[in-house]
Structure 1
Amino acid sequence: MNDSVVVTPDWLAAHREDPQVRIVDVRDAWEYDGIGHVPGAVSIPFDSYRDESDVDRGTLPGAEAFADLCSEAGISPEDTIVAYDDTHGVFAARFVLTALEYGHDDVRLLDGDYSAWNREYETSSETPDVESTEYEPDPLAPEESPLVDYAAVEAALERGALFVDTREAHEFEEARLPGAVRFDWREVVDDETRRLKPADELEELLAEYGITPDREIVLYCNTARRISHTYVVLRALGYENVSFYEGSLTEWLANDGEVESGEVE
């Protein structure tokens, strides 16, 4: 796995005291305070960087709001950010996607989650002292962003792109984009270790669903949370032609987009 995208607990343990490595805990504040956290981590809860009021595309919080969060947490644009949660990384991956969209060049996902870290390394209940910054976001231009809108999705359907639905079976059967394949985002996680499966195993697994690097891939779910994890994993494996439908099925249905339903043979 590319460690510029996903880092192991060993990597984080070796680098966590580097002043330019900023660790972000996206769990609820009570978990951060009451259960403990990776030493040196700052708390930026999931709900704080998710906004459903249409301030930006989908549930993105807007560049200014994201900059305020980073500034308060003492993060600078030049820092290496490592984000984690305690849910196999799905909430932390959303932070990674958000940071990338607002121009943060070096943001990575912790392979595993807080529980995986806690099995091998010390935790802390102390809140670190941080000096606030004046974080300046640099949002990606539309042509640079992996995020695509309704019109781009329509065009991708006509081109025969591979649409990957990361939701559960009952959601997929109720309504899905035409021709989509279902790939539950949790399939990439080893339940015993709580970490990602080995890269060669992941590549073989993805290939079983036709999700290969030579395909144009469009990811969607309901509200773009679960696809964040799949997107980060595909990037770590070197997939390049991957689009991220931020509006996902929620927007598609609101625009009366064509759907299929029922079980798949």
Structure 2
Amino acid sequence: MTDIVASPDWLADNLDSVRVVDVRDAWEFDGIGHLPGAVNVPFEEFRSDAGDEGMLPGADVWTDLLESVGITPDDTVVVYDDTHGVFAARFLVTALAYGHRDVRLLDGDYSAWTRDHETTTDTLNVERSTYEVAEPAEPFLVDFETVREALNSDAVLVDTREQWEYEEGHLPGAVQLDWLELVDDETRGLKSREELASILEDRGITPDRRVVLYCNTARRISHTFVVLRHLGYEQVEFYEGSLTEWEARDGELVTEE
């Protein structure tokens, strides 16, 4: 099974056979530099509250974005940002939701890449492609009713926000796991598999359990979703509406005294 996380060395060896997407702002992409062969799809261009469920941009917007940078459904896509991968992970989840089969997160980010690999300010000329969205290979998005029913099941609900946010209000029975706990400060990439497994096990988030992820607007859970897929978790559900929808629909919240 292909790993959903790509190491910098692997990417350096395969730059000619993959498509690389940089989701930073255009001024960073153009002014600071980017990976060789990368195209720029800024985060704000694929986030919308007027598209599909949650913050998904809508199939038409997504199709136009990918066609504009020359990506086809058969491409292997590797995504990065300069924020430990959390914005890039959101692109990855969006791609999976719209049926892209092979998309991966660069382990680390732009700053980590620059330590051992070259960057460029050259602009890549790409021809517009033809792109069609499809059903996801493995459906993973869940809605309000599914999450509400999960409260009374043996599923583990995971809140990936900071501790103070969790204390101000969280779903009943949810465990708190700040997504940044899974990131290594030194490498800027993921902690080792052993460290990740230990952190998750301490919270009761084990591979044998059904896991339901949420945060505020489904950005931070994107990173945690990638980590769990990377570790081989098979029952990972992604609440796209997250607390934005949950609160709007008067879902029950618990506060910590």
Q: Do Structure 1 and Structure 2 share a fold, with TM-score over 0.5?
A: yes
* Residues 3 and 11 of structure 1: CA distance in aligned 2, closer, same or farther (over 3 Å): farther
Which structure 2 segments of 5+ residues have no match? none
Letter in 2 for 1:234: L
* 1:129-175 Cα shifts (integer Å, max 9, x gaps): 1111011111339xx42110000001111113111000011111111
Residues of 1 paired with 2:157 and 2:254: CA distance? 13
Matched, 1:243 2:242: no
- Residue of structure 2 aligned with 1:184, choices 175, 178, 181: 178
Q: How does 1:1-265 map to 2 (within 5 A)?
A: 4-18=3-17, 21-53=18-50, 55-140=51-136, 144-263=138-257
In 2, are the aligned partners of 1:224 and 1:248 still within 8 Å (CA)?
yes
Q: CA deviation at 1:95?
A: 0.3
Which structure 1 segments of 5+ residues have no match? none
Q: CA deviation at 1:200?
A: 1.5
In 2, are the aligned partners of 1:63 and 1:139 still within 8 Å (CA)?
no
Q: CA deviation at 1:3?
A: 5.0
Residues of 1 paired with 2:148 and 2:16: CA distance? 47
Q: CA deviation at 1:90?
A: 0.1
Q: CA deviation at 1:50?
A: 0.6
* 1:10-57 Cα shifts (integer Å, max 9, x gaps): 000000012xx100000000000010000100000000111012x200
Residues of 2 paired with 1:67 and 1:107: CA distance? 15
- Name the SS for the 2:151 alignment partner: helix
What is the root-mean-square deviation in Å for CA atoms of aligned residues?
Answer: 1.1
The TM-score, its normalising length taken from structure 2, stands at 0.98
Residues of 2 paired with 1:170 and 1:200: CA distance? 27
- Name the SS for the 1:119 alignment partner: coil
Aligned residues: 257
- Name the SS for the 2:185 alignment partner: coil
Letter in 2 for 1:97: V
The percent identity for this pair of structures is 61
In 1, are the aligned partners of 2:100 and 2:136 still within 8 Å (CA)?
no
- Name the SS for the 1:16 alignment partner: helix
In 2, are the aligned partners of 1:3 and 1:236 still within 8 Å (CA)?
no
Would you identify which runs of 4 or more consecutive aligned residues in structure 1 move more than 3 Å?
A: none
* 1:105-140 Cα shifts (integer Å, max 9, x gaps): 000000000000001100000111111101111133
Letter in 2 for 1:11: W
Q: CA deviation at 1:4?
A: 2.8
Residues of 1 paired with 2:107 and 2:63: CA distance? 25
In 1, are the aligned partners of 2:225 and 2:238 still within 8 Å (CA)?
yes
In 2, are the aligned partners of 1:51 and 1:59 still within 8 Å (CA)?
yes
Q: CA deviation at 1:262?
A: 1.5
In 2, are the aligned partners of 1:166 and 1:227 still within 8 Å (CA)?
yes
Residues of 1 paired with 2:248 and 2:120: CA distance? 45
